[in-house]
Structure 1
Amino acid sequence: MATHLKNKKPLHLIKMNIKKGDRVVILAGKDRKKEGTVSRALPQANKVIVEGLNVVKKHIRPQGQTRQGGVIEKAMPLHVSNVMLLCTECGKATRVGIERRPLGADQKVRPVRVCKHCHKVIADHTRS
């Protein structure tokens, strides 16, 4: 997960359509065509970590008396271009569009993520 400092963008300039809690399907790699939930989004590195997928075995050295050594299984990050969002309405893997629609009790116009297939709003799991 080493990224050079010169490659990092400021957080206010980063736009990632996939967020924590989204259901995604993996498009490339050893876990191709498998579905999972995003447990962590890393927008500065353009990567996401999917629960239980892209798992590698990592050898850990013991750290004094606090941590025991051994081999652990760890979910590694995937580049965001190698995963595709699953629509909450139609259930298909889809590209994401951004539209401004009136939402909430005050009907204020807000940007929302929209499925490119069915044109319905994709549910945001981080807000509830």
Structure 2
Amino acid sequence: MKTHVKKGDQVEIIAGSHKGKRGTVLLVNAEKGKVTVEGGRPIIKATKATEADAGGLKTIDGAVHISNVKKVG
């Protein structure tokens, strides 16, 4: 599937509760029609402690549907 955005593009979220936020595209999943925007849709995730990481609550960037973003500049 061809997409109108690619990794590294500056985009703005144009729909949903995160409308108006701008950021850089970190990941494009064309098969599912999803885009991950830096700082666009923060999700708090609980992670288990490991030897390498202390665990706890982590903030990650969630995916947004590709039709809800527009390319800026």
Name the TM-score, length of structure 2 as normaliser: 0.87
Among 51, 56, 65, the alignment partner of 1:70 is 56
In structure 2, what is the Cα distance between the partners aligned to 1:67 and 1:24?
A: 32
Instruction: Tell me the SS of whatever aligns to 1:29.
Output: coil
Match of 2:43 in 1: 56
> What SS is found at the alignment partner of 1:57?
strand
Aligned-pair identity (%) = 34
Question: What 5-or-longer segments of structure 1 have no aligned partner?
Answer: 1-13, 89-128
Number of aligned residues: 73
Q: Quick one: higher RCO (CA 8 Å, sep 6+), 1 or 2?
A: 2
Please list every run of 5 or more consecutive structure 2 residues that lacks an aligned counterpart in the other structure.
none
Corresponding residue to 2:71 among 57, 66, 85: 85
CA RMSD between the two structures: 1.3
Runs of 4+ in structure 1 off by over 3 angstroms are none
Deviations 1:15-67 (A, max 9, x none): 1111011111101222201211111111121111111110011111123x233
- SS of residue paired to 2:70: strand
**Quick one: distance in 1 between partners of 2:4 and 2:42?**
23
The aligned counterpart of 1:8 is none
TM-score (norm 1): 0.53
The one-letter code matched in structure 1 to 2:53 is R
More strand by share: 2
